[in-house]
Structures are given as structure tokens and as C-alpha cells.
Amino acid sequence: MIPVILSGGSGTRLWPVSRKTHPKQFWPLLSENSMLQETCNRLISYAGIEDPIVVCNEAHRFFVAHQLQTSSLGNPAIILEPAGRNTAPAAAVAALHARKNSTEADPMLLVLPADHVIEDLAGFHAALSEAEKLAQQGHLVTFGIVPGAPETGYGYIQSGEKLSTSSAAMKISRFVEKPDRATAEGYLNSGDYLWNSGMFVFQASRYLDALAQFAPGILEASKQACEQAVADADFIRLDKEAFISCPSDSIDYAVMEHTDNGVVIPLDVGWNDVGSWSALWEIGDQDEDGNVAVGDVLAQDSRNCYLRSDSRLLATVGLEDIMVIDTHDVVLVAHRDQVQKVKELVNQLSEEQRKEIDIHALVHRPWGCYQGIDRAERYQVKRITVAPGAQLSLQMHHHRAEHWVVVKGTAKVTCGDRTFLLSENESTFIPIGEQHRLENPGKIPLDIIEVQSGSYLGEDDIERLEDLYGR
């Protein structure tokens, strides 16, 4: 079985931690591992798992490559989407890749979102085993989560008759969108509805045949994108023009709603898609007052709150059922019953073209990270951290000069035709228009303070001349 991990989501309901350039699947929200890493780790002990295929946004390729290096789930194939086209095309390019590269004539695929939580690993593996048997018989299998509440944030699957007396699987009557509260309560009381998990098991050929029958436009565009794809270091770049022309649709609506071979297996394994701050509160480590505290938090006379601070002290008095999320540049305060509306807030910020929906004050790069410290007209100050052995691109700027001060580690600096070392408390000046590069030749992280000055300080004033990372 080949895991196909879909990592293209943006996680807008977990803003301001989850943002376009660093969405929730790459954050360690519940453990020291990111959600992508946890998704990989829960498959390691399942028998017969092969090297995974990860489908992700091109802009997130370095997150995926770096985080999978610490996973024991084999050598991944990382397929880069030039644009998001929902889950049906993502699964299609993965199936086409698997058919071409697997040693199996018709590989079995396990399609998983990268950002789910599953607590009962043994129960999950038992369900995978049942799904694998059904898929070998030609079924397209999905998993429906046994609902524990009238949840309005999930889509639902209405189950039909049982497939057989020896299996928990049922035929699928229909998929339904996220309901209002009253409708969700009716679904829960009927016992016929399951939460739609977005997880699937099927043979590659069965899925591709279903696309040919029900969504030929998706199949054709996916084939063209794969046939014209190019290998780039550790990545597979789909053809941009072909993939962008692909219709955008989910596996549910492109295939599962139409096929007679679709079945659903009920799953009760402590599943959560971590789709909101209230979900993190529900599954988090609550204290005796029902509070979940992450970071430097002091809660007085506060109950049933989720309190998160990424840097400074967060102190609360007399709060109840409140979510407070404090990042380096944004503070979000919301009632626990209203957190689904965070997505509406993000939409408003997008209309206003606010940068806070795209990037963090702490910005990760393949060589390390940087954080904005201060900014005003004609200057800005950053703290730059370069990982041991890493280097920035050889580059130049047309509108700004830079001063670098080493505060930790040793820097190897290229400036024009000179290359030299800087130790702690030493500095250098990079004039406007001068070619330059920063490297860390040491064994510990390199920290520098960079002071930029000039008429334009945007990140797009970077002309890269050489770059290890293909940017």
C-alpha cells in the first residue's frame, strides 16, 4: 500500500498560526512533531507500507522535504502542484505516478490529508486492513467518522445498507455539505450519518477508470501535467499550464458520488481534523480548570479557554470559553463557539490585502529563518538564523544596502570579490548593487542582526545569481 499524503491545504481556520506560506500541517500543534510528520509516523508500523507520495503546493516544498527527512516512512516522492485544484486532481497525479513507478502492476493507494489527528492507532490499522481487502475486490473505500456531536464544521456521509454480514462497510447513499445546527442534530439522531473524513483506499486503476467515466477533464489534464513533468532535485514539478487547466473538484464529488463501487467504513478512533481552535482545545491537555495553555501563559480565574503565546507572557483574568492566540505580529481573541468564523475574518483580511494572512513575522526558509524586529520608512531590522552548513543565495539588491552584525556563531561572507569570516561581535557592510552571500560554516546556528536601509525594502528586491535550492 502506497500512502498518498495530500498537503496542499491552507488551514485558514487556524489563523494566525496557520498562514499561506506556513500552513497548519507544518506546525507542531499537539506534539514535538508537525502534523505532517505525525501522519507519516502513524503508518510506520502498518505492514506492507511502501514509500509515500506527497502532493503539495510548490511554495511548501522545502517544508515537506525537510520534515520528511526526520520521518522513518521511506523515501518520498514529492509532487509539486503549481496551483491548488482540490483533492481529485491531486489523487489523480499520485495514481499516475504510482502506476508508472511502482513495482506492483496495480498499486494500492491510501489517500490521507496531512493534518488529521488519530488517537487509536490499533483501531485505525484494523480499519486499513479491512479497507485494503475491499479495495482488492474493486471497491473505492472511504472512512466515515462516527459522530460524537452535531458538528456544523464537517461534511457528512449518509450510509446505506451493509455490504455484507461479515464487514462493517456500508454502501454510500450520498454526501452532504456542512449543515446548520438543526440539520446536524437530525443527522446525529438518525444514526445514518457519518462525518466525512476525506480518507480513501483504492487501487490506482480503479480510481483512474472512475475519473475517465465521471470526470474525464480531470484525468486528461492530470495525464498531460504528469507526462510533461520535470524532475528538479528531490521534487517532481508538474507542468504548470496543463495542471492549471485542470478542473478543480474533490474526490467526493468527482467520483464517489457517482460510482456504484463506493463504500464507507465507520471509524471511531479518536479522529479530529483540527479544523478550528476549539478542536485544539478539545483534544489538548486541559488543566483542572479546563484550560489548554501553550507557551508562557498565566491564567487566573479563567476556565475552558485555549491560551497560546508564541513569545511573550500571555496573562488572563476572569475569562471563560475564550480562545486567545498571540503570535509575533497578531493577537486573535474569539469565543469558543465562534471560531469557525475565523475563516470569514481571513477572507476580509485578504480583500484588504493584509500581509498577515500570508507570512509570519518569523519566516522560514530552506537555509533557516528570519524575523522582523523593527521597520519604518527607509529602514528595517531583521534577526537572521542560518542552520549549520547552510547558505543563502548569491544575490544583489538594487534599492537597499545592508549592515550585518554577528551575535552568535561564525559567518562566512562573500561581498564582491572578497570572501572572509566574521566572528561574534564583528560586522560588515553590503553596498547597494554588490553581489553577496551569507554562509554558516560552523556546527552551531548562526545568528546575525541585519539592518537594511534604502528606498525600497521589499523581498522582491532580490536578484539571485546562484542558489542551492533552485529558487
Instruction: Write the CATH number of the domain with boundaries 2-272.
Output: 3.90.550.10
Contact 18, 56 (CB under 8 A): no
**Four-residue CA torsion sign, 91, 96, 97, 98:** positive
What lies within 8 Å, CB to CB, of 242 at 6+ separation is: 221, 224, 225, 228
187-206 mean pLDDT: 95
Contact 345, 357 (CB under 8 A): no
Q: Is the pLDDT of residue 215 over 90?
A: yes
The reported pLDDT for the residue numbered 387 is 94
Contact 430, 364 (CB under 8 A): no
The verdict on domain 362-466 having CATH code 3.40.50.2000 is no
Give the pLDDT band of residue 286 (cuts 50, 70, 90): very high
Q: Is the pLDDT of residue 231 over 80?
A: yes
Cα 452 from Cα 366, distance rounded (Å): 21
Q: So where are the chain's domains? A: 2-272, 277-343, 362-466
The pairing of strands 463-466 and 108-113 is: unpaired
Q: How much is the pTM?
A: 0.86
The reported pLDDT for the residue numbered 66 is 86
The reported pLDDT for the residue numbered 8 is 87
Q: Is 225 exposed, middle or buried (0-12, 13-18, 19+ CB in 10 A)?
A: buried
Cis peptide bond N-terminal to 16, omega within 30:
yes
Cα 378 from Cα 215, distance rounded (Å): 53
pLDDT in tens, 411-460: 999 999 999 999 999 999 999 999 999 999 999 999 999 999 999 998 88
342-348 mean pLDDT: 94
Q: Is the pLDDT of residue 70 over 80?
A: no
Give the pLDDT band of residue 229 (cuts 50, 70, 90): very high
Cα 382 from Cα 359, distance rounded (Å): 15
Q: Is the pLDDT of residue 47 over 90?
A: no
- Strand order in 400-408's β-sheet? 362-365, 368-376, 379-386, 446-454, 400-408, 427-430
Q: Is the pLDDT of residue 93 over 80?
A: yes
* DSSP track, 405-463: EEEES-EEEEETTEEEEE-TT-EEEE-TT--EEEE--SSS-EEEEEEEEES---TT--E
Q: Is the pLDDT of residue 151 over 90?
A: no
Q: For residue 88, give the nearest of 219, 213, 196 by alpha carbon.
A: 219
99-122 mean pLDDT: 93
Contact 193, 158 (CB under 8 A): yes
Helix ranges (DSSP H) in 215-266: 216-227, 240-244, 251
pLDDT in tens, 358-413: 888 888 888 999 998 898 999 999 999 999 999 999 999 999 999 999 999 999 99
Q: Is the pLDDT of residue 137 over 90?
A: yes
The reported pLDDT for the residue numbered 401 is 97
Collect contacts of 367-373 with beta carbons under 8 A, ≥24 apart.
367/391, 367/392, 367/469, 368/440, 368/445, 368/446, 370/450, 371/328, 372/329, 373/449
Phi, psi at 45, each rounded to 5°: -85, 0
Instruction: Please state, for a pLDDT cut of 70, what percent of the chain lies above it.
Output: 100
The reported pLDDT for the residue numbered 366 is 87
First to last CA, the chain: 33
| Mean pLDDT computed over every residue of the chain | 93
Can you tell me whether residue 204 is helix, strand or coil?
A: helix
The reported pLDDT for the residue numbered 333 is 97
Helical pair 216-227 and 204-214, crossing angle rounded to 10 deg: 120
Contact 91, 79 (CB under 8 A): no
Same CATH topology for 2-272 and 362-466: the answer is no
Lowest mean pLDDT among 160-169, 173-182, 338-347: 160-169
The reported pLDDT for the residue numbered 268 is 95
Instruction: Please state, for a pLDDT cut of 90, what percent of the chain lies above it.
Output: 81
